[in-house]
Homo-oligomer: A and B are copies of this chain.
Amino acid sequence: MNNQRGKHSIVFSNRPNIVGAAAVGGVKESQGPQKKWFDFTLEDDIFGEKTWEKAEGKMVKKAIDLALSNGRVSEKQVDILLGGDLINQLMIANYAARDLQMPFLGLYGACSTMTESLIAGSVFIDGGYASCAVCAASSHYCTAERQFRMPLEHGNQRPPSAQWTATAAGSMVLSKDRAPGRNICVTAATIGRVLDPGIKDVNEMGAAMAPAAADTLLTHFRDLGRSPEDYDVILSGDLGHVGKKILMDLMAKQGVPMAENYNDCGALMYDDSQDVHSGGSGCGCSASIFAGRIIKEMRQGKIRRALIMSTGALLSTISSGQGETIPGIAHAVVLEAEGGE
């Protein structure tokens, strides 16, 4: 049956299959290096809606629709929808769940939501509690910035450590049944703890998340008796350039240096000419890179085993206003491609 190795990691003996996946990118995101990996790109970030929030809702539904369709799964076959976003009271995911009419569990892990939903979905599938689960996460620059930082119209300056909330959404469809041809499955996961390095600056999200990311990686390697070279790709998200460097320093200090196979979704989302400083952030950043590029590269046979880890900065405008620090969390998931070579 289902084995648990160590306290924080799970090995999935039934290997839930990722039969469908899709990524949606906003305008700025589709001008960057991820362009060719998106399944759908926006021509305008308002996406024909009256508000940014409704646009984000339409984006995540688009990602889910495309993932279902490329997974050849109908809405009625879905036993559970698991997802979340950054907007207050999970507004985006709640309205998507209303429109989709699937049994729904709302999740909040800030930008760690994509791997949080993959872990919960994999547990439901692996244990036989669902035959088909949809996981999804999204973010939108215009909804997140005004909620967490400044109104866009304010045009405030951003320090070099600031990250740019990606306008993007990602969805994966998990099934107990294998996909035809080359199959991708979830084989293990590590659930993170909340760690707090004492950062108070909302423009230092990478520094706030890096210790939690390092803790989850170290726990993962320890629990499973693995090391970084056991993976073709290790991808965190979204530490950004600054947080990525901190993570690499922390890992090296712990005797587990990260090598060429490691990168970060925040560092990958934009190129240097796009003026985003430390890189991308937001639930949609890692969700769209995992559901877009990583799944496609696995299907193409370029990646056999990937460790993907969304990272979340547990920032609240209320806690910041009360002088509280910003803790971080990170959840890791192992994806493996098999067959179809």
Query: Which residues of A are in contact with B by a Cβ distance under 8 Å?
Result: 1-4, 7-8, 10, 50-51, 53-54, 79-80, 84, 86-91, 94-95, 97-98, 101-110, 116, 119-120, 123-124, 126-131, 147, 191-196, 314-319, 322, 324, 327, 329, 331
A107 touching B104 in the complex, CB below 8 Å, given contacts A315-B89, A316-B91, A322-B51: no
Q: Is the CB of B2 within 8 A of A98?
A: no
Q: Is the CB of A191 within 8 A of B127?
A: no
A191 touching B105 in the complex, CB below 8 Å, given contacts A53-B318, A123-B123, A123-B127: yes
Q: Give the 7 A-B CB pairs with smallest separation, nearest first.
A: A127-B127, A89-B316, A103-B191, A98-B194, A91-B316, A94-B314, A97-B194
For this complex, 24 residue pairs linking A to B, each with C-beta atoms less than 8 Å apart, are: A1-B128, A2-B129, A3-B128, A4-B130, A7-B79, A8-B103, A51-B322, A86-B89, A87-B316, A88-B316, A89-B317, A90-B316, A91-B314, A94-B327, A94-B329, A103-B191, A103-B193, A104-B194, A105-B116, A105-B120, A107-B108, A108-B108, A123-B123, A147-B318
Cβ–Cβ < 8 Å partners of A318 in chain B: 53, 87-89, 91, 147
Q: Is the CB of B106 within 8 A of A109?
A: yes
Cβ–Cβ < 8 Å partners of A87 in chain B: 316, 318
A109 vs B82: C-alpha distance in the bound complex, in angstroms?
12
Q: Is the CB of A324 within 8 A of B95?
A: yes
Partner of A191, one of B88, B104, B316: B104
Cβ–Cβ < 8 Å partners of A319 in chain B: 53, 89, 91, 95
A322 vs B101: C-alpha distance in the bound complex, in angstroms?
22
Q: Is the CB of B110 within 8 A of A107?
A: no
Cβ–Cβ < 8 Å partners of A1 in chain B: 1, 127-128
Cβ–Cβ < 8 Å partners of A79 in chain B: 4, 7-8
Copies of this chain present in the complex amount to 2
Minimum C-beta distance from A164 to chain B (A): 19
A193 touching B97 in the complex, CB below 8 Å, given contacts A318-B88, A322-B53: yes
A97 vs B126: C-alpha distance in the bound complex, in angstroms?
26
Q: Is the CB of B7 within 8 A of A103?
A: yes
A331 vs B130: C-alpha distance in the bound complex, in angstroms?
16
Closest to A119 in B: B105
Partner of A327, one of B98, B107, B314, B322: B98
Cβ–Cβ < 8 Å partners of A84 in chain B: 108
A322 touching B193 in the complex, CB below 8 Å, given contacts A2-B127, A106-B107: no
A119 vs B82: C-alpha distance in the bound complex, in angstroms?
13
Minimum C-beta distance from A326 to chain B (A): 10
A178 vs B123: C-alpha distance in the bound complex, in angstroms?
22
Closest to A116 in B: B105
Partner of A102, one of B80, B103, B129, B193: B193
Q: Is the CB of B91 within 8 A of A129?
A: no
Contacts beyond the supplied A1-B1, A88-B88, A98-B195: 10 A-B pairs with Cβ under 8 Å: A1-B127, A10-B129, A89-B317, A89-B319, A90-B314, A91-B316, A105-B107, A105-B119, A106-B107, A106-B116
